[in-house]
Amino acid sequence: MSEEHGGRSGAPHDSSEPRGLDPEELAAALQRSVAAIGADGPPRAGLARIRRRAKARQRRRTVMASSAGVLMLAVVVGSVTGSRFDIVPVLTGVVGLGGDSTSGAPTATPHAGSSGQVRTVRPPAAVAGKKGPAIGPVTASATPSALASAGVPQCTAADLTAKATVDAVINGVSYGHVDAVASATCAVAGPPVLQVENLAGTAVRSVVILEHESTDGSQLPDVATWGAVLKLQAGQGFTLQYAWAPDECSAAVATGSATASGSASPSLSAAASQSPESTYSLSYLVSGTSPTLPADLQAACGATVYVTDIYRPGAYALPVATASPTPQASTSSAPAPTQAPTTLSPASSSPTTAPTSAAATSSGTSTSSSSATTGSATQGAANATAIPSSTS
Amino acid sequence: MATDVDVTTDLLTETYQRHYSSLLRLAALLLDDVASCEDVVQEAFIRVHAARARVREADKLLAYLRQTVVNLSRSTLRRRLLGLKLLPKPMPDAASAEEGAYAALEKDALIQALRGLQRRQREVLVLRYFSDMTEAQVAAALGLSIGSVKAYGSRGIDALRARLEEQ
């Protein structure tokens, strides 16, 4: 948490590096630029001044809140009693401004105590700081200094060859993974950023991407980290896994699927009626900007994507379908993983968009081996670029 | 026996002693108008003082302060901190001592290049590389997704390098 960066003695910087500013050097340069500011420490009387002003402001706010409360009370009392009640004694009595606090106040203002002090209506407390969209746990260790301690530059799109694949469809949920291999020595930081797009450009509203948690009911492995930093040599890579869980359709939409009962899986029945809205491509964004070869996925009524952190290849097993898919007597397109939070519906939680989506120019064919993934890679007119949200 | 208020008051004092300078530098990196840096940091501490009953952990207190500094710096850039300008100019002792440092800041090539960036890019770079925050922490402070933080950071570094090369 320190901002003095005592531990930045790190890696040597290759001045011929064409990628840009070395993060470690940038951090050191920023520190140097402002080192003289505040070098004498905080002003001696500063904290006392802050406390004095904070208390003065609090007093002002209390008075203002009280005034607002009294006005509201006056309106309420006025509307209830009409012309039968003189509001002025109530006002003066409640705010302690003098006057006869006993004249009618006890019967009309139950909150106004015998002392006549301000203990009436308070305005609602200010809303606590709003959470930003798609914020993962702050226990991630991928600080710039952690990346710098890896001693190698951060991986860029040019360093990585990555592709997303679908491995298995289990209970209507498509499980897949992204493999990335580095062509040069570099470091990569999680958590991963996924991009989902469809031809209709509705992915941003219909797909939610969440961090995988052990309680979400999916069969993804519980990767221990969230924001890991991996140092890669040329030829080394990393993996992340995801689960694509098509959302249940509403009754009106599900009617069409119900007529196709007996199909191998709900997702397949949905695939049978592919449309620009139901065909999605999912890709991993290197450095948050450059999409990789996507995997094609289907969902008639939107989907929820669960994703793990990045990890060394082979560290965790891929979900495997243990038996042939059993048709489920469901009228929905596909069930979400069991115990999935009820707040995961696209209507209540939408993925966040990236600052620009111009980078979404991926092309290429799907590398999916699953029967549920058909069609060629899509180039979305619009896309949903998202990082998993915490479900908490 | 120490009450909660005592504990949080001590926490505030400790935070003030330890992090005032770094918060001042953070404001200096975010603001074009360095004269408002002390105002911004002082205002952040005033707000934290008001919220001290809710924030009782050092990490959260510092995060709250940083976020407040970022928000106030943004406001200052937009409307020159209309409210704070009404305050009497504080800390004459500090202001005089800081004059030289601020003058040097105005001539710093990196600072000038930083000021040429988009606001979001600048905020991400400063929080990420000056304050050494994780992408998740930056996302929380700025109300962005982590993907956006990555993108702003990546493009910000490219833009910063281009501006430095122009100079």
Q: Measured between alpha carbons, how far is B126 from B117 in angstroms, rounded to an integer?
A: 11
Selection from A389, A201, A195, A185 nearest residue A306 by Cα: A389
Tens of pLDDT, residues B2-25: 455 555 557 888 888 899 999 999
| Residues of chain A falling short of pLDDT 70 | 1-20, 78, 80-143, 251-274, 287-288, 322-392
Chain B residues lying within 8 Å of A386, measured CB to CB: 145, 147
Instruction: Show the 3-state SS of A306-352.
Output: EECCCECCCCCCCCCCCCCCCCCCCCCCCCCCCCCCHHHCCCCCCCC
Half-sphere exposure of A106 toward its Cβ, with a 13 Å CA cutoff? Answer: 4
Residue B95 C-alpha, separation from nearest chain A C-alpha, in angstroms: 10
CATH architecture of the domain covering B108-167: Orthogonal Bundle (1.10)
Q: Measured between alpha carbons, how far is B137 from B133 in angstroms, rounded to an integer?
A: 6
Alpha-carbon distance values, A36 to B40, B96, B99, B128 (Å)? 18, 13, 10, 20
Neighbours of B103 (CB within 10 A): 11
In this structure, what token pair is assigned to residue B112? Answer: 């000038």
In this structure, what token pair is assigned to residue A180? Answer: 């990335």
Q: What pLDDT is attached to residue B151?
A: 92
Q: Which helix (H) or strand (E) holds B13?
A: helix B4-30
In this structure, what token pair is assigned to residue A134? Answer: 């798609």
- Find which of B57, B68, B89, B146 to mutate to test the A interface (most A CBs within 10 Å of its CB): B146
DSSP 8-state secondary structure symbol assigned to residue A14: -
Selection from A157, A30, A20, A19 nearest residue B125 by Cα: A30
At CB < 8 A and 24+ separation, what contacts does B94-98 make? B94/A40, B94/A43, B94/A46, B94/B38, B95/B38, B97/A40, B98/A37, B98/A38, B98/B37, B98/B38
DSSP 8-state secondary structure symbol assigned to residue B130: I
ipTM over 0.85? The verdict is no
Tens of pLDDT, residues B79-97: 654 555 545 555 544 455 5
Helices A46-81 and B4-30, interaxial angle, to 10°?
Answer: 110
In this structure, what token pair is assigned to residue A135? Answer: 């914020």
Q: What pLDDT is attached to residue B10?
A: 75
Q: What pLDDT is attached to residue A251?
A: 62
Q: Which helix (H) or strand (E) holds A296?
A: strand A295-298
Annotated domain spans of chain B? 1-106, 108-167
Question: Which of the two residues, A97 and B36, has the higher pLDDT score?
Answer: B36
B167 pLDDT more than 90:
no
Contact criterion met (CB < 8 Å) for A38 and B21: yes
What one-character-per-residue DSSP string does A22-38 give? -HHHHHHHHHHHTTTTT
- Find which of A62, A131, A135 to mutate to test the B interface (most B CBs within 10 Å of its CB): A135
* Maximum CA extent, chain A: 87
Annotated domain spans of chain A? 46-108, 144-386
- Find which of B129, B155, B158 to mutate to test the A interface (most A CBs within 10 Å of its CB): B129
Q: Measured between alpha carbons, how far is B147 from A352 in angstroms, rounded to an integer?
A: 9
Q: Measured between alpha carbons, how far is A261 from A247 in angstroms, rounded to an integer?
A: 18
Neighbours of A101 (CB within 10 A): 22
What one-character-per-residue DSSP string does B83-128 give? HHHTS----HHHHHHHHHHHHHHHH-HHHHHHHTS-HHHHHHHIII
Q: What pLDDT is attached to residue A125?
A: 32
Could you tell me if A377 lies within 8 Å of chain B, comparing CB atoms?
no
Q: Strand pairing partners for A154?
A: A187
Mean pLDDT, chain B, as a whole number?
80
Closest residue to B132, CB basis, from A27, A33, A288 = A27
Could you tell me if A386 lies within 8 Å of chain B, comparing CB atoms?
yes
Residue A139 C-alpha, separation from nearest chain B C-alpha, in angstroms: 8
Selection from B118, B134, B153, B105 nearest residue A21 by Cα: B153
Alpha carbon B109 to chain centroid distance?
Answer: 20
Residue with tokens 């002392």: A115
